[in-house]
Chains A and B, each alone.
Chain A
């Protein structure tokens, strides 16, 4: 279902086709924007549209697509009591400008996305793995990473066992 509001109109005017889609699904609004302008959109949403709370940042992996990753920001505005999802698509190996300077909370969230999907964020102050050990191989939430797959070598060296399974 298409979604229209002053916010959407504003972006449409500013970026034209850069704003790919703006819809409502099950009562939740989201916008799909081009990866080139996504960071600017986020900045404007924070500075001018009062989306002062970044609830979550995450990614979804679609291995069949050319641009494999959906990057998603879930935003909330205390003032307007409104939620908004911003979605952008990036290809494997492509990096994305970090939004830590917009919402400090994305520091760890970006680290987690990097940890789980291997998406790099430019300008992140300290991009390293957060949940997995630092020298772990592979990014587990990618679809090509099997559920019982693990970094055999790491397990052998650090845990002294043949396999963690």
Chain B
């Protein structure tokens, strides 16, 4: 038994491929738990960053700088009354958020956080991701229809049209990246997520910069399409607050509503991961081929630790600047504890074995986080597109460009 459990550890592959169920389950728990925590953190960050964009403070009351706000929100949502409209189709109404949640979480099975840090590596990895994430449209359509109300219906009509349209441009952009994998002279191309990153490693270039500006254009197309796919500003028409109140989830409340939110944020992280994997070198550290040598390896592997120490320092400065009033004592202590935890994590990250294992994951997450920040930035800056404009951008701008990119990539690939 113990042998079975440890049999994976020596292997140079993912638990799914090793067929080791124990480690696969552990990985699944870690990844899903991590994603849930990331969603909560994202929730806090979005509110905080958006607030600072808008010269406000954002959540400040629950915990130091509102750090515990997501937890308070979660508790509130869970204890809220769960309303199902009388005229709703109960079964469909009930199952719709679950479909969205399942679709957006299942995607994480193939996301490679590192060469071996993935639940499994599928031969059709990218195809699997696109396929499963396209299932979330079903959840949206079902939610809108089953609510038996005008606004949700309009919202779901909009979102299904929108998601299907942008999936095409997105798929073509992905294809051009997949084509690039097969252009290494060494072998054939691959659809596997790990394989794609490895191809970038072998070719010594992130696909975003390959055949410049082709790869970059494909990345931009994908980055636009993924915002539309996840129904976020400026493409948040399905839930356009000022037009359709809340779109397809107008009639949802409490826990069910929070499942939608969980699904939405999980999907945002998932599509950002695809973008990072396909174009930004996945788990690779920046400049893997220009800044080579042991010194640089060491420098880059120390960055995670220093980053956490810096965060701890910021938190500590926050502790010092807390008002010295008995009322704030608990908050101050909490923030100090938080700073201590951050510092401890930073110190642990300096330990060589941990450092080696963790830095892939760190770089991957850092790149995803950049995309998440973009999401927030868009939301603070852009007004909302109108539906016909959205369709025009999707079909008349993104689609032709992505077809062009695909064709030129193929030609260049044959030529070189």
- Chains A and B share a contact (CB less than 8 Å): no
